[in-house]
Structure 1
Amino acid sequence: MYIAHILLVIIVIFPIFFALTSSFRPLEDVFRYVSPISWKTFIPTRFTWDAYYNLFAQRGFARIFFNTFFVAIVNVFFGVIVNSMAAFAFAKMAFKAKNGLFFLVLITFMIPFEVIALPLYSLVDSFGWLDSYYGLIVPGIASGLVIFLYRQFFMDLPVALLEAARMDGASWWRIYYKVAIPLCKPVTISASLLIFISQWEAFMWPLLVSRSKEYRVIQVAMSYFVTEHATYWNEMFAASILAIIIPVCLILPYQRYFVQGVTSTGSKE
């Protein structure tokens, strides 16, 4: 089992390690030592920071990183609030067509995004949100998967706990943010990571709605490394390494809470 795990780790890590070492090579050296494989394949013979320097000095990656991080963080903030409130209503409130509406919510994260991309683009265009933070952020706030995770957790909250709060005169709003939310820390962390990573890795939607460099995010910016005349592999590898670092730094410290949050949202009614 240890040998199998080590082999799997090597298979997973090898492309990342190759990208890391290639990001410190000149462009003409990136694939020079790929075949046959030798120590030169993994260790740069000519070490240079040019790829990283070009990212920030010529391609404006400081602004691109700010855009990506800003869009992801704002989506996390509003996504957790909006989706948890919707889930609380589905779990603990009685209203007409509740089951039908929740069924529609489930469908939303089963349909490929490509199916709704054009109608969503037309809607955003009608609001005048193209090439703006509104167009990048607002369509990603609502998430059927996050609503499902929260709803399943809220379903397991003891009814007696909520009834006691109601008898003490607490409103549904007060019960939501004073009783329910403090109890769902693992789910909140899981939902936050899911929203953040989905926004950080988003490509198709930012490509559609962001036309200028001012609102370009990292996944879209990396597509511009491929031109008619050349592919700037060393800069692409450098950008890929930088794009990996932030999600990894977030996932590793909260991995335990992430797993706990996902596994604790069973379907017990």
Structure 2
Amino acid sequence: MTARTAKPGKVLSFGLKHLAYLLIAFIFVLPLWWAIVSSLRPNGAIFADIFPFTPKALLPTPFTTEAYTGIFERGFGLIIANTMLVAFVTMIAGLIVNGAAGFAFAMFDFKGKKIVLSAIIISFMLPFEAIALPLYTVTQQLGWLDNIAALIVPSIANGLAVFLFYQFFSQVPKDYAEAARLDGVSWLNILLRIYVPLSLPTCISAALLLFIFQWEAFLWPLLTMPSQQFKVIQVGMAAFQQQYQTIWNQLFAVSVITALIPIALLLPLQRYYVQGLAGAGIKG
């Protein structure tokens, strides 16, 4: 009899818990949903059902894809391609540079190692605005203004990515490297054949971090591309807000695409991403 009376209580608790989950999810998803709906409505109809609010505000009626057609006619496809190019080149180069640095800090002892490592860790805690001016000065002296190199090269070395690799490689038993060295294997082959295959979650985490940093960059592309002939996505969004009026449905369409592309990358890889950031790995 006790089991029978307890069962409805468990069902009720389960139902209330998942209802709360759905409510919280709805609150977080609602802004994105409204942006998607607004991007699929005519520009003049976006705010028609907001004041006063009616449920039609959350439905794409009347339905139209003119906003998406309009932004691609205005060259938004090229802006996406530019950003993808910058993000993927930074991501690949960053994995090589930051992975090698993390491996070196984990494997070798050298004078000033703790000081250098501490400086690297502190570097990713600094706001970008604090280093923007000296970085701009160096970029200008190198003649990289209005050059794609100005967007990619300063973003390759990343303190957080170096720390992630260092943290993981430090947890791998050094017996693997010592045994390989006894067999005459070079340090490069040890890194590529032993450590890299073990560090898949960390590689994915670092790659996604580098991609997202570039995808969300606004101030630096604005500074280093004064002519704006090579636009990236965050800077390109500003083009859809004109001086005297805002084309709201196109602005929402751009925002939806800008948000959904990183989400499409993060969702299938979120397990590895979280695992890498949490410092999960092999412990000796």
Equivalent residues of 1:51, 1:235 under 8 A apart: yes
> Is residue 36 from structure 1 mapped to residue 52 from structure 2 by the alignment?
yes
The alignment's TM-score, normalised by the length of structure 1, stands at 0.95
User: What SS is found at the alignment partner of 2:268?
Assistant: coil
Alignment of 1:63 with 2:78, yes or no, is: yes
Displacement of 1:211: 2.6
Question: CA contact under 8 A between 1:63 and 1:214: conserved in structure 2?
Answer: no
Deviation readout 1:176-213 (Å, 9 max, x if unpaired): 11211111011101111111111111111111112334
Identity of aligned residues (%): 46
Are positions 1:169 and 2:175 aligned together? no
State the AA in 1 paired with 2:119. L
CA distance in 1, matches of 2:258, 2:177: 43
SS in 2 for 1:212: coil
Alignment of 1:1-269 (within 5 A): 1-57=17-73, 59-265=74-280
Q: Which residue type is aligned with residue 266 of structure 2?
A: I
Number of residue pairs matched? 267
Q: Which amino acid aligns with 2:137?
A: S
**What's the CA shift for 1:250?**
0.9
Structure 2 portions without partners, runs of 5+ = 1-16
| 8 A Cα contact 2:40 2:63, kept in partner | yes
How much does 1:128 deviate?
1.0
Shift of 1:46: 2.5
Conserved 8 A contact 1:197-1:247: yes
Distance in 1, matches of 2:32 and 2:268, equals 20
Which amino acid letter does the alignment assign opposite residue 31 of structure 1?
F
SS at match of 2:229: helix
Matched residues in 1 for 2:203 and 2:246: separation? 41
Query: Whole-Å Cα distance in 1 between the matches of residues 182 and 247 of structure 2?
Result: 66
SS in 2 for 1:253: helix
Is the CA contact 2:82–2:232 (under 8 Å) kept in the aligned structure 1? yes
Amino acid at match of 2:133: L
CA contact (8 A) 1:67 1:215 kept: yes
Q: Conserved in 1, the CA contact under 8 Å of 2:169 and 2:195?
A: yes
CA contact (8 A) 2:164 2:279 kept: no
Stretch moving more, 201-210 or 100-109: 201-210
**Offset at 1:17?**
0.7
**Unaligned residue ranges in structure 1 (runs of 5+):** none
CA distance in 2, matches of 1:168, 1:45: 69
How far residue 175 of structure 1 moved from its aligned partner, in angstroms, is: 1.2
Task: Tell me if the contact between 1:30 and 1:234 (Cα under 8 Å) persists in the aligned partners.
Answer: yes
DSSP-derived class of the 2:242 partner: coil
Cα offset, 1:133, TM superposition: 1.1
Q: Distance in 2 between matches of 1:118 and 1:231?
A: 31
Alpha-carbon distance in 2 for matches of 1:149, 1:265? 10
Distance 2:161 2:280 in 1: 11
Across the aligned residues of Structure 1 and Structure 2, the Cα RMSD in angstroms comes to 1.5
Asked whether the 8 Å contact 1:22–1:44 carries over to 2, the reply is yes
